[in-house]
Amino acid sequence: MIPNMWYAVLESKEVKPGKPVAFKRLNEEMVFWCDKAGKIVAMRDICPHRQSKLSPGKIVDGNIQCHFHGFQYDREGACQLIPANGRNGPKPKIFQCKIFPVQEAFGLIWVWNGEPREEYPPLPFFDDLDDYTYASFQKHWDVHYTRVIEGQLDISHLPFVHPNTIGRGQQTLVNGPYTTLENDKIRVWVSNQPDAGLPALKPSEVPPQNRAPDLLFNYPNIWQLRLGEGIRNLIISAPIDDDNTMLYVRTYQNSVGIPFVGRLIAVMSNQFNKLVLSEDYAITVTQTPKKGGLDAGNFIPGDRPIALYLQHRNHLMTGEKVNYEQPEQQSLSDNGRELWPG
């Protein structure tokens, strides 16, 4: 996982007051619960006493209580009660649970993958969806989350994987695509067309676009497809572990102002999204290895968004600073190897 970033890992509705719930996210067994003020707590799902899980326990006086010996821990992970020692007995600091910085916003629960700090960066959500109505569903895929994101940024597979849905028209020729990367955000303008015998334009040959991007991706794990000003698709690829990802899929719409009708439109759109995702899954699950990377296969110019995602992911993993003064012209290589020779 990329360190020191906010990951959207759950929808808010999955954690309800009064009951701890267990989820594996970011390769960690976690327990999520709400304190007295209704604030979300994310904690490693293990009691430091005898190493049992905390998630089967319950919430008592705003603390999580272990079901094994009744130890209680507050939202900071500090032990507040050891029943066997008495209510006023000692509570040694060795009984400290690991907590994860957490925020709740946009109907999502976000976990910070890194060491706690005094100040955190903003949540990497999209800032123009406030007046949209949405409906959501979730789907488990037994692949690494990088493979999911690669597929979301892959624009040359559409006529082959989705010939009867979003790939109709046999637009097999991929011009560019014009792609930018700034502030950990990738933007892609799609200009595919039917093959009329002319060579595809290289990414450096496609001029800057004067319209909104078609695909948007915010590191580390949120993707958006603009289907027009009135409707958007959004997918959150929440990492479970190295072999599994939970996809949270949302359709946003603001073309209809009546909330009930707008939500119904979003729900119906999600039925189509389920079909498209099933087509993607059938291919993605066959890719090897399960984890994507610059060394996992070869690239063509039309793969620029994927290669850019993977290259910058490597930079974020290592902490390498890269100057993207002209992001659309940024060269793409892997340790000096050009990703698409010739």
Domains for the chain: give ranges and CATH numbers.
5-113 (2.102.10.10), 133-337 (3.90.380)
Report pLDDT for 168. 85
Q: Please determine, for residue 88, whether its predicted confidence score (pLDDT) is greater than 80.
A: yes
Q: How many CB atoms lie within 10 A of CB 271?
A: 10
Indicate if the pLDDT at residue 310 is higher than 90: yes
| Residue 324: pLDDT over 70 | no
The pLDDT of residue 340 is 62
**How far is the C-alpha of 52 from the C-alpha of 14, rounded, in Å?**
23
CA distances from 266 to 135, 224, 290 (A): 5, 15, 31
pLDDT(329) > 60: no
Mean of the per-residue pLDDT values for the chain?
91
Check whether 162 has a pLDDT greater than 50: yes
Structure tokens given for 126 = 């999209």
pLDDT for position 112: 97
Q: Which of 97-101, 220-224, 270-274 is the least confident region?
A: 270-274
Q: What is the mean pLDDT of residues 163-178?
A: 90
Residue 342: band (very low, low, confident or very high) from pLDDT cuts 50, 70, 90:
very low
101-122 per-position pLDDT tens digit: 999 999 999 999 999 999 999 9
pLDDT single digits (tens) 123-142: 999 988 988 999 999 999 99
pLDDT band at residue 259 under the 50/70/90 scheme: confident
Q: Is the pLDDT of residue 6 over 50?
A: yes
pLDDT tens digit sequence for 268-297: 999 999 999 999 999 999 999 999 999 988
User: What's the average model confidence in pLDDT over 16-30?
Assistant: 97
pLDDT at 335: 59
Mean pLDDT in residue range 42-50: 96
First to last CA, the chain: 33
DSSP states of 270-313 as a string?
HHHHHHHHHHHHHHHTT-SSSS--TTSS---GGGHHHHHHHHHH
CA angle, 176 then 179 then 181, to 5° = 155
